[in-house]
Chain A
């Protein structure tokens, strides 16, 4: 092997990389927020007694979960303009990611709703709490505790998945890699560095979420 690795040559792009990291975090957080809003509506629809909303929610979840994000992204970015809906790359990326996240989040929330046993609600009411109080003090905390681990790993998954939107030129960390690659031709070094950056983010967030879980749920229930 006679190749000299030149990671040092990437040092001058440190500001761009940091900016890419921030953009990826921003995109992940906004995707999570928009996706959760969609999830909530879909989860409520899928647990309702009405046939049409329940069926619509089922179709949405199955369609999204059984097709690749990349194709969903291409449909939004390249397909919608033929219907007269023009979106810039960042908007298209956010829309496709949120719709995608909405389907996975809906399943997480639905499982959360169903995890709180009905006897808990009855117990709350029997103690003389109002319906609102029962929800606030009994149901909400348990439901959040049940879905928290799944949502935390979903966030990490979204962060890794946002790299896909670089394919339509949306600005985030992987797009930064393509930019550096085009300036330096140091493809391997660039992608190794950027991939390592994602790994650090993943491990950091996992540790953070585990710490939050411990402080909020474990310590509190020990008191």
Chain B
């Protein structure tokens, strides 16, 4: 029996959207923590650590996210970890995000002029004082807008986890589309839900950029 695309399906899509949101949140936190490590490794004055970070960033940014997802999904069971699609999805999305966060934050840190460090030293501030009271407040200010901007990419890219069977918004839309045989309204509804999340983040990013730059 083929049913119409109705209220139950809509609430199923909304449940899917909440999983999309949840996955993006996990990837944001996990990727954020790991990205902090990447950014630090990238700027410490010790070349081999810089190279490791550069290699890691190139590896992640130079391969398709879909490939990374499949490698985690098929690879982790080989080393004896039984993973479901949620674990594989959240792990690979976090790693994917960490490479981008790492680069964004490195750029923000390095955009703070060396003279700021020197000025801090001239005023007799200790290294932690210079870092936490002089450089970081400025770097964080610069990094906020691009960080939120990347979250748009992150939310959109969670859609790829549907291809390893994780039921988020896109997979939910596939399921509803299969049950109702009305792909056009179903996928358009899913697209509208993505749009609401992503457009809000885009606007927020632009607003933050305007506000934080105006204050300088």
Contacts and interface: CB of A to CB of B under 8 A. Distances in A.
Interface stretch (A33-41, A161-169, A210-218): A161-169
Contact of A82 (B63, B174, B184, B194): B184
Contacts of A163: 64, 66-67
B162 A198 contact: no
Given A66-B195, A187-B70, A192-B71, A79 B184 contact: yes
Contacts, number: 120
Interface SS of B by simple majority: helix
Chain A interface: which size bin?
Answer: 35 or more
B162 A195 contact: no
B22 to A, nearest CB: 16
Interface in A27-84: 62-63, 65-72, 74-75, 78-83
Interface in B36-69: 58-59, 62-68
Given A65-B202, A82-B184, A167-B163, A198 B67 contact: yes
A80 B188 CA distance: 11
Given A79-B184, A191-B71, A199-B59, A67 B191 contact: yes
A129 B79 CA distance: 69
Contact of A68 (B75, B194, B202): B194
Interface of A: 1, 3, 62-63, 65-72, 74-75, 78-83, 156, 160-161, 163-164, 166-167, 174, 177, 187-188, 191-192, 194-196, 198-199, 202-203, 206
B170 A71 contact: yes
A74 B195 contact: no
A194 B202 CA distance: 33
Interface string B178-216: 000011100110110011001100100000000000000
Contact of B160 (A164, A191, A192): A164
A88 B65 CA distance: 25
B196 to A, nearest CB: 9
